[in-house]
Structure 1
Amino acid sequence: MTPSCQLYLISPLDVGGAFPDRLREALGAGPVAALQFRVKGTDQHEAARLAEPLQAICAAHEVAFIVNDDMALAKRLGADGVHLGQGDGDPREARALLGPSVQIGVTCHDSRHLAMEAGEAGADYVAFGAFFPTTTKEVRHRPDLDILIWWSSLFEIPCVAIGGITPENGRPLVEAGADFLAVCGGVWNHPEGPAAAVRAFGEILSQPAA
């Protein structure tokens, strides 16, 4: 049985070196729905080279491989999906390029309006955040839990909570209706390693809703 909320990993910016082994460790520790491949400042050829081993590890663990920001790279890799920021193009454009079966996610910050627009444009999920302080990216938007309650009560399209989420603070997001917790530092920077982090997240995701 799939839990009501699932773990969605976001890669650190440095995915070379030992990262493939760390990813394998994380995915072997418990259920993970997806990995978002997020690199910045590399050309497409280098990004594709870095993505190849990670995509293979995800496939072996039946974890969706989602490319951040770049529709062309997602097409080149045959990725399972693409995640679009507000400046990265329209979901309709991504659908036309990538086909009907690819997962398309859209960053909606703290905006109900942007989320409804994304849903109308064919997004497969919408992402709200940052819910907590994070060092992964600059935070300009801080939604309340109410946005998750509102979205999950009105719409069928899944919602993702993102931003500074840890095993210690994530449970209220689950209870508010998040379908996925998107996590970067909470897993890769965990003091006991990524496997321990995935197991800890598994505990809060498997608890029945209050």
Structure 2
Amino acid sequence: MPDCRLYLITPPALPDPARFAAEDLARALDAGDVAALQIRLKGAPDEAILRATAAILPVAQSRGVAVLMNDSMELAKRSGCDGVHLGQQDGDLLAARKLLGTEATIGVTCHDSRHLAMEAGEAGADYVAFGAFFPTSTKETVHKPEPEILEWWSEMFEIPCVAIGGISPANCAPLVRAGADFLAVIGAVWSHPEGPAAGVRAMNAAIAAA
């Protein structure tokens, strides 16, 4: 397996989750190496998120791709996800571990903060996420770390780190070289002009070339 792998995040809205799972997601996951998929449907009601997750889980898990719920440890538990990704306002990592168990994957957003990352590592996070490295239309960019934070983290700690924020085949090389274990992407795959499968292939090729 490559040292750096792809971490997909769902498109921000899924009007037809069953179709998305059977078509776009299946094609993307069959096109190349994808380590994980995060279900991030901001603003959607819980029931809609659970319906989407029910469609997505079998497609991803049958291909060996871990599925993480964004923000909500409760929804991660109810839906049977492999873990949860917690923002800084999304609850306590220790509470998530207690609820989801020792086997669950729990990641934590650490923005551009070495302090937050060390705290998360000490609390037992399975990975820490830094970003946004580049401008992104998905959310307002408040924190903008430099690739050096990935270098520092990977030299100091064994826990994997995820880079996120506006990452594309054209700009990912410095992040790969700095030590990112995973690159989290949305638009680079789902908005690729030739479709999601081409997006995964392009990202994997760029990671390998870096």
Q: So what's the TM-score if we normalise by structure 1?
A: 0.96
Letter in 2 for 1:12: P
SS at match of 2:174: helix
What residue ranges of structure 1 are gaps of 5+ in the alignment? Answer: none
Structure 1 pair 16–57 and aligned structure 2 pair: CA distance change class (3 A): farther
Letter in 1 for 2:50: A
SS at match of 2:110: strand
Aligned ranges 1:117-196 → 2 under 5 Å: 117-196=119-198
Tell me which residue corresponds to 2:99.
97
Contact (CA 8 Å) 2:39, 2:70: kept in 1 or not? Answer: yes
Tell me which residue corresponds to 1:204.
206
Letter in 1 for 2:99: L
CA distance, structure 1, for counterparts of residue 208 and residue 42 of structure 2 = 33
CA distance, structure 2, for counterparts of residue 42 and residue 4 of structure 1 = 34
1:206 shift after superposition? 2.5
Letter in 2 for 1:14: A
Contact (CA 8 Å) 2:188, 2:203: kept in 1 or not? Answer: no
Tell me which residue corresponds to 1:67.
69
Deviations 1:67-100 (A, max 9, x none): 0000000001111110000000111110000000
CA distance, structure 2, for counterparts of residue 171 and residue 103 of structure 1 = 26
CA distance, structure 1, for counterparts of residue 195 and residue 44 of structure 2 = 27
1:12 shift after superposition? 1.0
Letter in 2 for 1:115: A
Tell me which residue corresponds to 1:7.
6
**Does residue 1:116 correspond to 2:88, yes or no?**
no
User: Runs of at least 4 residues of structure 1 off by over 4 A?
Assistant: none
1:41 shift after superposition? 1.9
- Alpha-carbon RMSD: 1.0
What residue ranges of structure 2 are gaps of 5+ in the alignment? Answer: none
Deviations 1:16-57 (A, max 9, x none): 324221111100100100000001222222211111111111
Contact (CA 8 Å) 1:90, 1:121: kept in 2 or not? Answer: no
**Does residue 1:106 correspond to 2:105, yes or no?**
no
